[in-house]
Structure 1
Amino acid sequence: MAEPLKHLIGPQTARDTTHAVARAWRPFNRDRFLAEVLAEIEALELMQRGQCIADALSRHLPQDFTQATRILQDCLPKPEHPGLSGWALLSFNQYIAAHGRGHLEVSLNLLKSLTPHFTGEFGIRPFISDEQDKALAIISGWIDDPNHHVRRLASEGTRPRLPWAMRLPALVKDPALVLPILEALIDDAEDYVRRSVANSLNDIAKDHPNLVADFVERHRKGASKDRLWLLKHASRTLVKKGHTKALANFGYEPLKDITSRLDLKTTHLVFPGELLFDLHLANLGRADVTALVDYAIHHRKKDGSLSPKVFKGTSLIVRAGETVCIARRHSFRPITTRVYHTGQHRIEIMVNGIAVASAAFDLQLPSTANH
């Protein structure tokens, strides 16, 4: 069984931080610092553990922020000593975010130095929120940095909806200032950077679907294999939702000459179980067509309403005059992210983003199950 995420930071992290700071700054009260952190850290979750160490740093580092940043800088890995790296630097992100307001350049420079050893994506967001134009002007200068971690920080740290981090409402509302950064990094040599660009575009697509579909259309022409993968990954939410232009960007046009038939093997399931179904597609036209087939399960909620979740199906070419049968099975089993309820559910088939067939089925949960 995997270790809980919170164990990425723990008592040893506190000891490592104590050692690094004491080496960088002799007046540091290492015994008191460590005692304060160890008294709290075991009872906390991951992000709280980082914050616990950051709060202790706030109490024990110099109140002068510029002096404190020089100490933190000396804690980073150097040729003469290993320094701190990995999750031990989450607390540095949190400390800088809390105390660096009003010290934009100093703070961003330290986060830039930190990011090759962990990431600075959590720490830079308050500065973007406070001084968006100035912060983005500095961050935009990182797109040509020789270190790929720094280039990734330019795209990852500016994601409007970065998971685990504060949201950037102004960029959610208007991501125009982020697009030049993403365009500059779209053909980056590192997959690590390109994946970040794709994720940022996917974030933006949740609020501005047409903007991202247009972006993909502009950059798809003559795209390399790597860029094409990036654009597809950036479009994943739009494709899943059946956005017409996003689908058309990858050759999935609305189909006029396709007929469909959905056959359920059973209309009554007992949980846990599998829904088996066949989809028959007939191409009545004179030209071959490319079909992207997805399906949605409309799960029954506690109040009796239905909530759809789309699942990826398959992509295929249906030849002129041909009928194909696609056989699939969908598993209903205990998962931590969903609570199932007894009653009628529905399956819906989408071809190139258009619903073409649907059918109802009943799901019965054992009376002894705790749902």
Structure 2
Amino acid sequence: MGAMNELINRQSVGVLAGILVTAAPAARWPALAGAGTGLAELSLRQRTDQVSAALVADLAHLPDPGYATAAHVLRKALADPGLTGWILWPVSEAAVTLALESDDARDFGDCLAFLAELTPRLTGEFAIRRLLARDPDAALQAIRTWTGHPDEHVRRLASEGTRAYLPWAVRVPALVQRPEATLPILDALYRDPSEYVRRSVANHLNDLARHAPAVVVSTAAGWLAAPDANTAWVVRHGLRTLVKKGHPEALALQGFEPASVAVSELRLDRIEVAMPGDLGFEFEISNSGSERARLAVDYAVHYRKANGSQSVKIFKLTALTLAPGETRTLGKRHAFKPMTTRVHHPGLHALELQVNGLRHGRAEFNVRT
């Protein structure tokens, strides 16, 4: 995470200050100059907030201060190709702060337009969240027009900035409470020519699956009824969480219908895993029915928690089709190593198989840290 923090540093703040001096020669930027110091112990988000607050403070001392004047200066700065990278995050946040403080309703829409202008250099997906929170209907009305924008970065912003659970971003309650509100954006973009945009659409759909699975399944079914060459991938990626959870309708959309299968006992290559290490497992799966069976084969790891209970996480193994009577041997090695996203606790763990959403077998093992 330390390397991520350094995306905004004293040097990048100095570059921003130099560009602003050129954009507004009569202005002074003392708060911004001071913001470049004292960054070492701050996270990336904290650095963004510090630089953004300094920008707002300095922009307040411009002649005729307010959003309109600040936007004019920031747009002049943006004309410099050297203004790029993560230093634009605090620039975008400063613009949003001033727009939300403005009494002129036009500044809200202009700030959205400014974020669209800025996003090809970095992204406006984080700053746009506060505009969505203030007036989701007005923001979404403007954002929907971006789905036809010639720049793929702006089209992606329409999808990425409106995700319900965008990583690193503030939550927007309306996006969770009204899952249908962003569907016109996704419907306009799921066949986008850019993979960059389509991946965002799939991740957006997967976000919605956390609280609106019925909406997600219905939307995916509509897309599959009017597909292009990339629609199958978008739907598969967008349904990945529901498929892992064994959602019957999501599985059926992917061709994983209920099937008669026989699964052998799980064979582990050890009963104790020393961290860092890995666990190998193997099993046989057979089609015991009279029809060909398309199978989504996953596995669940039951991790020990600090309080002694267990939490489960599903991992993809494979998808395969078995003829009647056919048997296949499958296996994998699963790694146990320190991760920033998971703390491993010593003690009893377990592994289960999951086939088309149904669990099969259970094998227990210990992890030693």
Q: Aligned residue for 2:53?
A: 55
Q: Aligned residue for 1:357?
A: 361
Pair 1:127 & 2:125 matched: no
| The 10-residue stretch of structure 1 (215-224 or 158-167) with the greater mean CA deviation from structure 2 | 215-224
CA distance in 2, matches of 1:164, 1:335: 18
- Mark the CA change 1:193 to 1:251 in structure 2 (over 3 Å): closer, same or farther: same
Q: Aligned residue for 1:284?
A: 288
Q: Aligned residue for 2:4?
A: 5
CA distance in 2, matches of 1:137, 1:204: 20
Aligned letter for 1:158?
Answer: T
Residues 38-53 of structure 1 aligned to structure 2 (within 5 Å): 38-53=36-51
Task: Kindly tell me the number of residue pairs found equivalent between the two proteins.
Answer: 359
Q: Is the 8 A contact 1:54 1:95 kept in 2?
A: yes
Q: Is the 8 A contact 1:283 1:323 kept in 2?
A: yes
Report deviation, 1:266: 4.8
Report deviation, 1:327: 2.3
CA distance in 2, matches of 1:116, 1:49: 22
> CA deviation digits over 1:222-260, x for unaligned, max 9?
5223121111111111111111111111111121x2111
SS in structure 1 at match of 2:350: strand
Q: Aligned residue for 1:142?
A: 146
CA distance in 2, matches of 1:263, 1:284: 18
Pair 1:268 & 2:268 matched: no
Q: Is the 8 A contact 1:75 1:83 kept in 2?
A: no
Q: Is the 8 A contact 1:217 1:249 kept in 2?
A: yes
Q: Is the 8 A contact 2:243 2:357 kept in 1?
A: yes
CA distance in 1, matches of 2:231, 2:286: 34
> Of 165, 171, 174, which aligns to 1:167?
171
- Mark the CA change 1:356 to 1:129 in structure 2 (over 3 Å): closer, same or farther: same
CA distance in 1, matches of 2:151, 2:345: 50
SS in structure 2 at match of 1:178: helix
Q: Aligned residue for 2:212?
A: 208
Residues 38-187 of structure 1 aligned to structure 2 (within 5 Å): 38-61=36-59, 62=62, 63-77=65-79, 81-101=80-100, 102=102, 103-187=107-191
- Mark the CA change 1:22 to 1:337 in structure 2 (over 3 Å): closer, same or farther: same
Q: Is the 8 A contact 1:20 1:84 kept in 2?
A: yes
SS in structure 1 at match of 2:111: helix
TM-score, normalised to structure 1's length? 0.92
Q: Aligned residue for 1:320?
A: 324
Q: Aligned residue for 1:22?
A: 21
CA distance in 1, matches of 2:341, 2:287: 38
Q: Gaps spanning 5+ residues in structure 1: where?
A: none
Aligned letter for 2:364?
Answer: A
Q: Gaps spanning 5+ residues in structure 2: where?
A: none
Q: Is the 8 A contact 2:180 2:215 kept in 1?
A: no
CA distance in 1, matches of 2:210, 2:356: 19
Q: Is the 8 A contact 1:264 1:275 kept in 2?
A: no
CA distance in 2, matches of 1:354, 1:251: 15
Pair 1:251 & 2:255 matched: yes
SS in structure 1 at match of 2:51: helix
- Mark the CA change 1:145 to 1:14 in structure 2 (over 3 Å): closer, same or farther: same
Q: Is the 8 A contact 2:353 2:359 kept in 1?
A: yes
Q: Is the 8 A contact 1:116 1:149 kept in 2?
A: yes
Report deviation, 1:108: 1.0
CA distance in 1, matches of 2:95, 2:231: 35
SS in structure 2 at match of 1:339: coil
Query: Identity across aligned pairs (percent)?
Result: 38
CA distance in 1, matches of 2:344, 2:40: 34
| The 10-residue stretch of structure 1 (336-345 or 104-113) with the greater mean CA deviation from structure 2 | 336-345
TM-score, normalised to structure 2's length? 0.92
> CA deviation digits over 1:261-282, x for unaligned, max 9?
1232356214134333222112
Q: Is the 8 A contact 2:297 2:316 kept in 1?
A: yes
> Of 280, 286, 297, which aligns to 1:293?
297
CA distance in 1, matches of 2:145, 2:6: 35
CA distance in 1, matches of 2:148, 2:154: 9
- Mark the CA change 1:313 to 1:131 in structure 2 (over 3 Å): closer, same or farther: same
Q: Is the 8 A contact 1:274 1:329 kept in 2?
A: yes
SS in structure 1 at match of 2:266: strand
Note the aligned Cα RMSD (angstroms): 1.8
Q: Is the 8 A contact 1:276 1:329 kept in 2?
A: yes
